[in-house]
Each structure stands twice: as C-alpha cells, then as structure tokens.
C-alpha cells in the first residue's frame, strides 16, 4: 500500500524527485501511470511549478517519459534495454570491487556495519521505505570506498535507469532478506580481503531484480 510522504510547500523540486523516485522503485507508481501536475500538487501540498520541474528531472533521469495525448507517465522499460543496462552495471560494479582497498579500513567497515544494521532493522520491521533509503545509503558508502568519484557517478546513474525493474523485488520479503545477507557477506569479504568473493557478491547481488523482470516478459536470463 502506498503511503504518502509529506513534502514541504517551500521545498525544492529535488525533494519531490526523491519521493517520486522512491515510489517508482517500490512499485507504488506503476509503469505507464500518468503523472498529473494538478493531482501531484494537491497530494503533496506543493506548487505546480515545483511538480513540473520534478517531472522534467525524472524525465532526464529516464524514469518518466512523455506520451502523445497522455502527457508524462512512468516509463515502461523494454526487456532488451533492461538486460543491456544490467550488463553495464555488472561491468562497472565489478570494476569498483577491483579498486576498493582490501582489507578495507576500519572506518569504512564501521560505517557500512552501522548502515546495514539500519537496513536489517527496516527489513525485519517490514518498512519498505526505510529499507529503500538504508539500501541506497549502504551502496553509496560501499562504492565510495573505491575512491573513484566518476565511477561512483556512473554506477549511480546506471542503477537509476532500471529503477522500474527493481519494483518487482524491492518490497518482497524474500529478496529483502537475501539482500541483507549479501550486504553482511560483502562487509566480511572486505574485512578479510577476499577480492574474488567481493566481486562475485557485487555481481550476484543485482541479478535477482533483472531476472525477475525479464521472466515477467518471458525472457531468458
């Protein structure tokens, strides 16, 4: 069930972008669902020009598209595009695994453990919104450890392109618990300096959302 998050009337469009991005990932906004400025303005209690700017930004990110006679809608991802983007994600994240200094510094490990504790708590509490934010924070901290900000930006951008594909697993308790286990395993691999295992975990971690999405359309892995 979708739970409306408040957005301050004085907030910038970026705050609204964050909320709508979250709702796309969690499947609360479905592919091809219309984004009507007046309705969103009323729902979030913000001005229409803020909504308009947010929709433009979501369109730039690849999460929204303009459809003739319908206006702005949540973008429906083509299976072939999803497979291609995941191929890019695997390559980028494997590279990040090769660049992270191992064994990882104590400070980085401590930050990751703290974030992952929040993530695990949210998963156990069946709080998909908190789990989503903690998951994003974990991966931001994880990839930042590679020390290459340009690579981190590319990883983040490619992940956003397939947010819609993640909606099938982002609220599923089975996949959320699996994600928790893999996060802890990544921390352990970083602590003991097991780079091959870390690279394999990075790769395998993102595959369920791809595979479930492709299976929905009858595509093989």
Q: Among 35, 54, 74, where does a domain finish? A: 74
Strands 71-74 and 64-67: what pairing? antiparallel
pLDDT of residue 1: 46
pLDDT of residue 215: 93
Closest Cα to residue 144, out of 195, 100, 210?
Answer: 100
Q: Residue 38: give the domain boundaries.
A: 13-74
Q: Among 23, 46, 74, where does a domain finish? A: 74
| 94/27 same-domain check | no
Q: Considering the domain boundaries, does residue 24 fall inside one?
A: yes
**Sites in the chain below the pLDDT cut of 50:** 1-2
Q: Among 74, 93, 114, where does a domain finish? A: 74
pLDDT of residue 213: 93
Confidence (pTM):
0.87
Q: Considering the domain boundaries, does residue 7 fall inside one?
A: no
The CATH number assigned to the domain holding 196 equals 1.20.120.530
pLDDT of residue 220: 64
| 42/99 same-domain check | no
């Amino acid at each position: 069930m979708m739970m409306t998050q408040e957005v301050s009337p004085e907030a910038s469009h970026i705050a609204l972008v964050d909320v709508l991005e979250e709702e796309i990932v969690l499947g609360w906004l479905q592919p091809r669902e219309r984004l009507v400025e007046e309705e969103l303005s009323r729902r979030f209690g913000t001005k229409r020009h803020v909504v308009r700017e947010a929709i433009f930004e979501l369109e730039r990110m690849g999460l929204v598209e303009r459809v003739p006679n319908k206006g702005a809608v949540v973008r429906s991802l083509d299976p072939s595009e999803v497979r291609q983007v995941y191929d890019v994600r695997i390559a980028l994240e494997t590279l990040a695994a090769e660049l992270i200094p191992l064994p990882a510094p104590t400070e980085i490990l401590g930050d990751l453990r703290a974030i992952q504790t929040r993530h695990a708590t949210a998963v156990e509490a069946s709080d998909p919104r908190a789990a989503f934010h903690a998951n994003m924070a974990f991966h931001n901290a994880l990839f930042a450890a590679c020390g290459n900000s340009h690579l981190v930006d590319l990883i983040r951008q490619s992940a956003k392109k397939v947010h819609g594909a993640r909606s099938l697993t982002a609220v599923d308790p089975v996949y959320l618990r699996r994600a928790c286990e893999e996060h802890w395993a990544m921390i352990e691999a970083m602590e003991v300096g097991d780079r091959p295992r870390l690279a394999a975990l990075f790769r395998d971690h993102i595959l369920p959302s791809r595979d479930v999405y492709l299976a929905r359309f009858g595509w093989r892995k």
